[in-house]
Structure 1
Amino acid sequence: MEGQLATYLTKLLPIQEDWVMEMEKEAKKENVPIMDPVSMDFIMLLIKLTKPKRILEIGTAIGYSALRMVEAYPKVSIVTIERDNARYEKAVQHIKQQNKTGNITVVHGDALEKIEAMAAKKESFDLIFIDAAKGQYKRFFELASPMLENGGLILSDNVLFKGYVVHPEEAHSRHKKMVERIQNYNDWLTKHPDYTTSIVPIGDGVAISLKNW
């Protein structure tokens, strides 16, 4: 049923521009994890609603989500961090091809180090999107949170991890520790005193955390 619902919802999405479909094909061919179209459409709606001036994205991959976020709100400025060199180069290439270098700054390096450096400079963001190493989600959140404006959002992708958070015993042995970390993250996040969080079972699960005023 879940797969059928995803197919149904995907068919309801508006026809995408050629560059979007090409990037989705490239990601599938090269086995690069990018946000699924239905979840991406949902994130784009949130951005259209909130109109953030600055976004911090943790986990660029090939630049797909950053470019889609600019598509949603062309006035936005995005700083996105990617550790993998090949993906970083691909992201820079795609962003140049779409003439969005004025909107998107791609930072190459370890996200934990880069976020700490940004926080030390007292940078500020209206929205933070976490979509990198799942085992580090809590640390990413803790480091980036002070830079988020009151009333801003932190979005965390993949927080349901293929449903294994419900049935951890079904996860492959190499994933069990990851499932446990995500379960702990979700529990910590939903009880955070400074945030109001809702986890939406769309795609692989998106947590929306509103920073309280």
Structure 2
Amino acid sequence: MLTDTYVPIAEEIEAYALDHSDAEPPLLARLNRDAHVKLLRPRMIAGHLQGRALKMCCRMMRPKRLLEIGTYTGYATFCLAEGTDPDAEIHTVEINDEMEPFFRTYWQEHPDRMKIHPHWDDIRRVLPQLGPEPFDLVYIDADKRDYCAYYDLVFPLVRPGGLILADNTLWSGKVVKEDATHTDTQTRGIMAFNELIRNDNRVEKVLLPLRDGLTVIWKK
């Protein structure tokens, strides 16, 4: 039994992890800084550590057809693109078209931009336009109130053996607070999604305490 053990705070743990991971690419580092200067909610971007994890996931899986729900700045989009083969295609969907100028600034410079197909519309209108081919990987990072709806929408479109990744599934720790069921609608949305995934026997799943929570879902 260990006693008097020093437990570093979360910031120190993250700093250590970053120091022992691949560096943030210069373009993404610039995007990160720009987001913190120009945007109201810069913490909504995936960030350095999670971005490297997304790239690594693609390196290992080598998906050819990807879907992202929630583009925001494009940070996660670019990380997914980094990890995929040259013939991959990534459809990224964002309902807030006010983010388009910010996204395009970095998309135009990104070496993998030809893989990335942005759509500025509601995912429900976009999906029918993308053809019948199944997706190898879906990344969900949009309105937390609609996570269950997004999951039900895309699940039939993911091939067996494909992955669904869902971001923010710990939601700043609000999911474990005693009064969580009485808090805001976004917290309730995340909690409902987490319960949905836990009870879905069509998949295998793990909720990783990476940054704000990343759930990895493998379709049987």
1:14 counterpart (16, 19, 22): 22
1:125-176: CA deviation from partner (whole Å, max 9, x where unpaired): 10000011111111111111111111000000000001110115379x8x53
- 2:91 is matched with which residue: 79, 101, 115? 79
| RMSD of aligned Cα (Å) | 1.9
TM-score (norm 2): 0.87
Equivalence for 1:208: 216
Structure 2 gap segments, 5+ residues each: 1-8
Structure 1: unaligned runs, 5 residues or longer: none
For 2:144, the aligned partner's letter is: K
C-alpha separation in 2, matches of 1:99 and 1:38: 21
> 1:155: which partner in 2?
165
| Alignment size in residue pairs | 208
Instruction: State percent identity of aligned pairs.
Output: 23
- Residue identity opposite 1:2 in structure 2: A
Q: Aligned partners of 2:180 and 2:148: how far apart in 1?
A: 24
Deviates more, 1:69-78 or 1:203-212: 69-78
Q: What amino acid is aligned across from residue 50 of structure 1 in structure 2?
A: M
Q: How does 1:43-122 map to 2 (within 5 A)?
A: 43-75=54-86, 76-115=88-127, 117-118=128-129, 121-122=131-132
Deviates more, 1:84-93 or 1:54-63: 84-93
Match of 1:136 among 141, 146, 168: 146
1:38 counterpart residue number: 49
Q: Which amino acid aligns with 2:63?
A: P
TM-score by length of 1: 0.90
How big is the shift at 1:48?
0.7
Return the offset for 1:16.
2.7
